[in-house]
Amino acid sequence: MNKENCEIIGKVLYFELHIILLYRVELLSIGSVFVVY
User: Residue 14 is which amino acid?
Assistant: Y
**Distances 18 to 3, 7, 13, 21, 36 between C-alpha atoms, Å:** 23, 16, 9, 5, 27
Q: Determine the pLDDT at residue 32.
A: 80
Q: Determine the pLDDT at residue 12.
A: 93
Q: How confident is the model at residue 7 (pLDDT cuts 50, 70, 90)?
A: very high
SS3 1: coil
Q: Taking the domains of the chain in order of start, what are their residue ranges?
A: 1-37
Q: Determine the pLDDT at residue 1.
A: 61
Q: Determine the pLDDT at residue 18.
A: 92
Per-residue burial over 6-17, b if 16 or more Cβ lie within 10 Å, else e, is: eeeeeeeeeeee
Q: How far apart are CA 29 and CA 31, in angstroms?
A: 5
pLDDT digits (tens, 9 = 90+) for 8-31: 999 999 999 999 999 999 888 888
Choose between 31 and 6: higher pLDDT: 6
